[in-house]
Chains A and B, each alone.
Chain A
Amino acid sequence: MPSKSSDTRPGASWGLKLAAFGTLLFLHFPMWIIFLYTFTPDETTYTFPLPGFTTKWFGVALQRADLWRSLTLSLQVATVATIAALILGTFAAAAVYRSNFFGRESISFLLLLPIALPGIVTGIALRTAIGGLDIPFSFWTIVIGHATFCVVVVYNNVLARFRRTNATMIEASMDLGANSFQTFRYVVLPNIATALLAGGMLAFALSFDEVIVTTFTAGQQTTLPIWIFSQLSRPRDRPVTNVVATIVILITFLPIFIAQKISAGSSETEGETK
């Protein structure tokens, strides 16, 4: 029986509740499958119910050097790409916000383009450029590839924050004797700090799970998503892949949760995260 809630709004109908739970279930079902089969003793097939329960695959995963190499590479790439995105994105947002130069709208559009373009197009473009310029594939080619879309995320967040920040504050700071650096350090930075954190976390997450662009810019190197992708051709390793996926889910859960809290706390309206 539908009970009257203490809220003044009438409770949702059973149909709506069912639809909502159905959608959530649909979204999360694949993740639970992965989680579940992390503990299966049967390495080749997905049988339900599980034929037994084991945690041995965690031990196996721990032994795999290739896995750890790719995980380390992914973390390093994501970190460097995020730092580059934070710096470049903030500068770009500041320029577009503060000055009214010729071609400002075009710059704004060009910055947003990489995230709208299919990854495959960005990938081919980068591959052609890298090949054409005779640049050897390296850690840095991956970072450059990732930075193209990570910059956008930071740029959007910071620009949204700038637009809500009172511009006379910057004038007030200069008026009180602070030079440009001090003004940035004491007034601008504290005001955009949460936008940087939210944008940075999103950029990190985007970089960490990127496959398509990476395929074109990595050469022989293997990032974690590419490693997982290559595992598909090795059915016997399936539980190990599941272990990795589970760990990644657990690790990403935390920063996303924190980013959400921060965004909600500052009643943020950055288009990207919504």
Chain B
Amino acid sequence: MMNNPSTPAIQFDKVSRYFGEVKAVDHVDLEIIDGEFFSMLGPSGSGKTTCLRMIAGFDRPTSGKIHLYGQDVSSLPPYERDVNTVFQDYALFPHMNVEANIAYGLMVKNVARQERTKHVDEMLELVRLSGFAGRKPSQLSGGQRQRVALARALINHPKVLLLDEPLGALDLKLRQQMQIELKAIQKRVGITFIFVTHDQEEAITMSDRIAVFNQGKIEQIGSPSDIYERPASSFVAGFVGTSNLVGGEIAKRTTGSEQTFSIRPEKIHIGSVSDNPASGMISLDGVIRDVVYLGLFTRYLIEIEDGVDLVVVEQNLKSTSMDVLSAKGQKVKLSWHQDHISRVGG
């Protein structure tokens, strides 16, 4: 291990935050490793943002403790925590120019003006905004404001950087570009990043590890491939990517257990009814009910029993739209490797 496992960057010890009756965060235990890019993923209202706000100090836990590199910070005000935040709406100071915005953290600490200018220049270079020092936030595009917010948060060299859905307001192209850039900046500065998002693709693209939040609790923590390939619950299987959930009688017939399992659409192979399943493969007969041609791939809806449909995705390696669209109504045999299923309980 290159990190000292005894002092995690952030440690949640049975942290809860209740708003009246609502359990926004409910007994969460969590360890975030020094230097990692950690994402908190979940739908709105799942408690991920509340967790972030408690790390920043804008909110205090109802019960439980939060440790920052071993120090209990649960009741410290935001300005006494070595943590900085990039806000969803950037929250730049409109009456200050870019330089003053970025230098703010140094100014309130009474760092000499010359020193400040030097650090601001470094930061502007890091976020590729050299030459923009004199502009007002209102004269910047969304992507540029985003970079200023990032530079402003990084100039203090915090131990942990918090990012609250910072890419939400950007258009798709810019968002993808910023994802790559953020990841590169994180590598360069070596600071622990905690990234809150509801966009599973974003989390998978950028993170070293992901925590999936649902109703104030963490459903699963793991690497992006863990989360995707081995979802621990039906919620994770459904929220991260698309997934087929199979349970009850069919589960018993195919796997020998009634426990619900999840199988990803791209892992299912469509064959002809006469095919013999190879060893280690699970197979089911079905009828193609619907075909959606999507260019790169085709999405099939296949009924395996009355009212039970599986989504199957196949790349259009050889087939054309004519071929796939005529497949509607055909009887097929579906098969997948037994290693590709995940038991999700229930």
Contact = CB atoms under 8 A, between A and B. Distances in A.
Contacts of B56: 171, 175
A21 to B, nearest CB: 40
Given A182-B108, A190-B95, A175 B89 contact: no
B58 interface: yes
Interface residues of B, number: 25
A177 B109 CA distance: 7
B255 interface: no
B156 A169 contact: no
B91 A172 contact: yes
B91 A176 contact: no
A185 to B, nearest CB: 9
Given A182-B108, A186-B108, A175 B93 contact: no
Interface of A: 166, 168-169, 171-179, 182, 186-187, 190-191
B78 A174 contact: yes
A99 to B, nearest CB: 14
B95 A176 contact: no
Contacts of B156: 176-177
Contact of B95 (A168, A171, A172, A191): A191
Given A171-B58, A171-B78, A190-B95, A176 B89 contact: no
Contacts, number: 66
Given A175-B79, A179-B79, A169 B104 contact: no
Interface of B: 56-58, 77-79, 83-85, 87-89, 91-95, 104-105, 107-109, 152-153, 156
B84 A176 contact: yes
Nearest to B83: A175
B91 A166 contact: yes
Contacts of A179: 77, 79, 108
Given A187-B93, A190-B95, A177 B105 contact: yes
Given A168-B91, A176-B79, A187-B93, 6 more contacts: A175-B56, A175-B84, A175-B153, A176-B105, A178-B104, A178-B108
Contacts of B92: 169, 172
Given A182-B108, A186-B108, A174 B79 contact: yes
A169 B77 contact: no
A182 B109 CA distance: 10
Contact of B108 (A171, A177, A190, A191): A177
Contacts of B107: 186
Nearest to B81: A175
B87 A168 contact: yes
A76 to B, nearest CB: 33
A262 B325 CA distance: 66
A191 B94 CA distance: 8
Contacts of A174: 57-58, 77-79
B79 A172 contact: no
B87 A176 contact: no
Contacts of A182: 108
A164 to B, nearest CB: 11
Nearest to A189: B95
20 contacts: A168-B89, A171-B78, A171-B87, A171-B91, A172-B85, A174-B77, A175-B79, A175-B85, A175-B153, A176-B84, A176-B105, A176-B156, A177-B79, A177-B156, A182-B108, A186-B93, A186-B104, A186-B107, A186-B108, A191-B95
A58 to B, nearest CB: 45
A84 B143 CA distance: 44
A170 to B, nearest CB: 9
A214 to B, nearest CB: 38
B174 to A, nearest CB: 21
B79 A178 contact: yes
A176 B92 CA distance: 12
